[in-house]
Structure 1
Amino acid sequence: MDKLILGRYIPGSSIIHRLDPRSKLIAMFSFIVIVFWANNLLTNTIMAVFTLTVILLSKVKLSFFLNGLKSMFGIILFTTAFQMFFNHKGDILWSFSFFKITDYGLGQAGLIFMRFVLIICISTLLTLTTTPLSLADAVESLLKPLRPLKVPVHEIGLMLSLSLRFVPTLMDDTTRIMKAQQARGVDFGEGSLVQKVKSIIPILIPLFASSFKRADALAIAMEARGYQGGDGRTKYRRLAWGLQDNITILILILLGLVLFFFKAP
């Protein structure tokens, strides 16, 4: 549970914590777009320095970001290795059978690795400095222009907030079920790959059963309290866009212009 990042909020009073969640969402998606313009050493260095500066401004321990990277290490390693061994453009540096490492493939693998790391760090920063309810309110507020198109904006925000809220609960249930199965003699760490996959089934079935039971209880509780959706409802927490949010968006725009100017053709 200490390594759980998704849905986890670290209380604080830093300038990143005080930003409007809408500006943080817009900044994160803008960052994800412009990070693909970082295609050489200079632009990647600029992005790395910018990300490290934002992390330091948040006053959140670096261990949280390292845990976020660890959870995605398998995907990062697979994608990087695939790009490195199967990209045959450029001069060959090493080859064995159909595996080839070229200078171009090695460079592309480094770029993909940096993009993964930067995107995961910024996404982790968003969740660590923004409460799930504020994040859901921000999504609902940003999607309001789609309401005339019959898009269920409030329902989307509600689903997001409930999903983030129950991630730690599902992790607790998983830990409890695993301990109960281990007490009955189930070993999750030994055997072949097929046996390890089969050992997950005693976890998934009771986990799904408890999840559906909890969802049904939540629906009954909401109905008993007269929940009617977003029509006519007021907000207990109101979002306030301030000067610091305008400065944040301006900084992202300037960062995008710098990357576009210095990126390789």
Structure 2
Amino acid sequence: MKNIFDFEYREGSGIFYTLDPLIKVFLVMIFWILTLYSGLSSLVLLTAVIFIIVIYSGLTERFLRQTRFFFLFVFPFIVIFQVLFHWSFAGENPGLFFFNPKVSIDGFVIGVKVGLRLFCLLSSSIIFIMTTSPLRLIRRISEIRVIGFQIPASVTFLFVFINRSVTLIFNDLERILEAQKARGFSLRDVGIRKRILGYIALLIPLLTISLERAQKQAIALELRGFGSKKVDIKTDSQSFKM
């Protein structure tokens, strides 16, 4: 079965694989800040940096597969929407019917900026997940001590849970798509409108599977005493005489 949503970590070579996970977290945060406060030229440069990292780390095929939907649908939609309706929101007096299509060069520039900004945020997160071992990341987080303070085990577990849950959700979606394809229905062979409606319909079984898994995980955590407080039980000693 072809892995459509391949976000899992795999062993690889490259500087991003060997970097300390905490350093990567710091670099990703810096990259996000630069992305949020950069202009068009800086965003183009950051996008080029993303592709250089992807090519150097050997993630080209997997990365393009994960970002294909963004480039084919999301990015063009953002640009077209801004080109047509930029002045509908930017005008001083939009009026009652403010959705008035009007082609604007400024809207095109803003649309490209918004699209590149979203791409940089998304792609940096994907690269971080693909090149960072969850176990190594959690081990480094659990070793952090600041003035005798250690990160609680519940916070560490939250990182593991989120990282694993995202992968499981995408795997569930992949299995649902394969099941629909086995029944003779494929979203790749229909138009954009039916494809969007098809993805919306897939949310129902996906939500059901996720809720069932969440319930089982909650029961398993409760049975293992996760989050419970230690209670000292005192017993009275009694002596018996024969």
The answer to whether the superposition gives a TM-score over 0.5 is yes
SS of 1:72's equivalent?
helix
1:86–1:196 CA distance, 2 compared to 1 (3 A)? closer
User: Shift in Å at residue 29 of structure 1?
Assistant: 2.0
AA of the residue aligned to 1:69:
T
Selected match of 1:72 from 70, 73, 80: 70
How far residue 34 of structure 1 moved from its aligned partner, in angstroms, is 0.7
> How many residue pairs are counted as aligned between the two chains?
217
Q: Sequence identity, in percent?
A: 20
Picking from 107, 113, 116, the partner of 2:115 is 113
Task: Specify every segment of 5 or more residues in structure 2 that has no aligned partner in the other structure, as ranges.
Answer: 91-98, 231-242
Q: Which residue of 1 aligns with 2:132?
A: 130
Q: Matched residues in 1 for 2:75 and 2:227: separation? A: 40
Matching residue's letter, 1:103: I
Please, what is the CA RMSD of the aligned residues?
A: 4.4
Unmatched 5+ stretches in structure 1: 90-96, 233-265
- The answer (yes or no) to whether the contact 1:140–1:156 under 8 Å persists in 2 is no
Task: Give 1 or 2 for the bigger CA radius of gyration.
Answer: 2
1:158–1:16: structure 2 CA closer, same or farther, 3 Å change rule? closer
Cα 1:129–1:113 change in 2 (3 A) is: same
The corresponding residue for 1:16 is 16
Q: CA deviation at 1:109?
A: 2.2
TM-score by length of 1: 0.61
1: CA distance, partners of 2:145 / 2:181: 42
Structure 1 contact 84–101 (Cα < 8 Å) conserved: yes
8 Å contact kept, 1:136–1:160 = no
1:124 is displaced (CA, Å) by 1.9
Equivalent residues of 2:169, 2:210 under 8 A apart: no
1:51 equivalent in structure 2: 50
Aligned to 1:246: none
Q: What is the match of residue 32 of structure 2?
A: 32
Report the Cα distance in structure 2 between the residues aligned to 1:206 and 1:78, rounded to whole angstroms: 27
**CA drift at 1:163:** 0.8
Residue-by-residue CA offset, 1:221-253 (whole Å, 9 max, x unaligned):
5555x3535999xxxxxxxxxxxxxxxxxxxxx
Q: Which residue of 2 aligns with 1:4?
A: 5
Secondary structure of 2:177's aligned partner: helix
Distance 1:230 1:13 in 2: 41
Matches within 5 A, 1:207-246: 207-222=206-221, 226=224, 228-229=226-227
Output the TM-score relative to the length of structure 2: 0.65
Asked if 1:162 corresponds to 2:164, the answer is yes
Q: Matches of 2:139 and 2:68 in 1, distance apart?
A: 29
1:171 aligned residue: 173
